[in-house]
Amino acid sequence: MAMEKLPPKGYEYNKVLSMMEQYGKNDANWKQGKTFSLVYHRDDAHTKFLQKAFELYFDENALNPMAFKSLKRFESEVVKMTANMLHAGPEACGTMTSGGTESCLLAVKTYRDMARSARPWIKKPEMIVPESIHVAFEKGAEYFDVKIIRAPLDKDFKVDVNAVKKLINRNTILIIGSAPCYPYGIIDPIDELGTIALSKKIPLHVDACLGGFLLPFVEKSGYDIPPFDFRVNGVTSMSADVHKYGFSAKGASVIVYRSIDYLRHQFFIYENWPGGVFVSPALLGTRPGGTIAAAWAAMVAQGEAGYMKNAKIIMDTSRKIQQGIESIKGMEIVGKPESSVFAYRSVEPDVNTFAIGDILEKKGWHVDRLQRPDALHAMITPIHAKVTQRFINDVKEAFTIVRKNPKLAYEGGAAMYAMISHIPMRKMIRKNILKMMEGMYGPEGEIPDLSMEEGSSEDFAMKAGKWYLKLKDTFRK
């Protein structure tokens, strides 16, 4: 029964909780290791501990650090511990944010405002990013009116440093690299970007939302990790998510700057508000105390040894799965990922990667699809250590099924994703997605049926299949 109006009389707490449990029954099954994104779970005991830490500061609000000095202390210490982990030096400072996206948005806002103050003649600020940069920076460009200039990747899926150099002009206010990028788990040549940034006197932000709480420990475990943090001269700031590989509760990331000279431009101050002088260090107004407290608790409870132990499990599992996939003749890992995140795909022309994805979905795996190149995506967490072999076997089986039935490429999800990634009419994709969003968030509040079954109420997939069949020769090019 859908709740469209407040129930005249409230329900019993227990009844509400059991309804909620019921509603989650068909959600993605992360508890069995079936998802490869969205949830970073260490173990049940750790989650229970985080819940307690969160609960201790459930009601408190970090909007006013004077009122809740405990939260300010947690935040400062989380920032300090993160800065040290990333070798940010004695002048480092920063803030916590609600997540990776907020940290990325803030980087754009900070450097835009810094340029406004130091280089006021720039009317149309530009930032140079790798093609593989997280989409949060596209959002930041749109929100803060900074032109985004995408530098191509080289054959190893790292940003082409020479291209970056050529793209710099008088309007460039920021260069960004990833450590690693979301699509392929590959680290950009941060040291070379650092050299360029220094020589051109342009700030360099490293988006380590994914790797910030993993790479330092992978490196310490002896893996060959290229320079990615503040040890590279020229890096002026980094984003690192505690709610990803820091294994904290969702809603926690950190943005660290090399010095207050940068951070100062992040703050918002309005002294004339009738509600009082208003100061805000980051994007949000009210800032939940629970997420800040849980982030501190997660870091202090795991310590270096805890993160090292986890990094080993994660990397071993990731390597095993990557090797398993590469042992399938006709499949490959995209590039050479240094971390636990990777993309994989079929390189056999008649075995469609997205069709492999569809079969994996039918087997209960929740897999993300990439474009340019068409690939499937995996972000490994400790939970996958329990399902390593099963997953490899299922990928093998899916590959064999698609090889025997190449037509699967033109059906259901495979057709839809192929169309989305290849159709030259990008505006049409945008229009369709906007329509879907309007349906989801408009008054109907409908959840689209993407089950790809024939006759499903949202038969976008079927239509896509037909288009795809019609245009498949174009797509193949």
Whether the bond between 189 and the residue before it is cis, its omega within 30 degrees of 0, is no
Question: Is 99 among the residues that bind ligand PLP (CB under 6 A)?
Answer: yes
Question: Is 96 among the residues that bind ligand PLP (CB under 6 A)?
Answer: no
Q: How far is the CB of 253 from ligand PLP (least distance, A)?
A: 6
Encoding tokens for residue 150? 């995408």
User: Among 257, 277, 314, 364, which residue's Cα sits nearest to residue 34?
Assistant: 364
Residue 446 near residue 439, CB atoms below 8 Å: yes
Residue span binding ligand PLP (CB under 6 A) among the ranges 23-31, 57-65, 96-104, 184-192: 96-104
Q: Which is nearer to ligand PLP, 208 or 452 (CB)?
A: 208
Residue 86 near residue 208, CB atoms below 8 Å: yes
Residue 91 near residue 127, CB atoms below 8 Å: no
Q: How far is the CB of 121 from ligand PLP (least distance, A)?
A: 31
Question: Is 100 among the residues that bind ligand PLP (CB under 6 A)?
Answer: yes
Cα separation, 21 vs 242, whole angstroms: 27
Largest CA distance in the chain: 70
Site map (CB under 6 A) of ligand PLP, residues 196-235, x = contact: -----------x-xx-------------------------
Q: How far is the CB of 24 from ligand PLP (least distance, A)?
A: 20
Question: Is 182 among the residues that bind ligand PLP (CB under 6 A)?
Answer: yes
Residue span binding ligand PLP (CB under 6 A) among the ranges 93-101, 215-223, 229-237, 291-299: 93-101
Nearest-10 crossing angle of helices 353-362, 388-404: 120
H or E element in which residue 299 lies: helix 289-326
The SS3 of residue 230 is coil
Q: How far is the CB of 332 from ligand PLP (least distance, A)?
A: 22
User: Among 194, 195, 197, 205, which residue's Cα sits nearest to residue 256?
Assistant: 205
Q: How far is the CB of 140 from ligand PLP (least distance, A)?
A: 10
Question: Is 97 among the residues that bind ligand PLP (CB under 6 A)?
Answer: no
Q: Which is nearer to ligand PLP, 370 or 409 (CB)?
A: 370
Q: Which is nearer to ligand PLP, 100 or 335 (CB)?
A: 100
Question: Is 246 among the residues that bind ligand PLP (CB under 6 A)?
Answer: no
The closest residue (CB) to ligand PLP is: 100
The SS3 of residue 278 is strand
H or E element in which residue 279 lies: strand 278-280
Q: Which is nearer to ligand PLP, 335 or 465 (CB)?
A: 335
Size of the site for ligand PLP (CB under 6 A): 12
Q: Which is nearer to ligand PLP, 134 or 369 (CB)?
A: 134
Q: Which is nearer to ligand PLP, 136 or 380 (CB)?
A: 136
Q: Which is nearer to ligand PLP, 100 or 290 (CB)?
A: 100
Residue span binding ligand PLP (CB under 6 A) among the ranges 20-28, 80-88, 94-102, 278-286: 94-102
DSSP lists the bridge partners of residue 127 as 148, 174
Q: Which residue has the tokens 């329900």?
A: 11
Cα separation, 418 vs 428, whole angstroms: 14
Phi, psi of 207 (to 5 degrees): -85, 100
Question: How crowded is residue 3: how many other Cβ atoms within 10 Å of its Cβ?
Answer: 8
Question: Is 134 among the residues that bind ligand PLP (CB under 6 A)?
Answer: yes
Return residues touching ligand PLP (CB under 6 A): 99-101, 104, 134, 136, 178, 182, 207, 209-210, 241
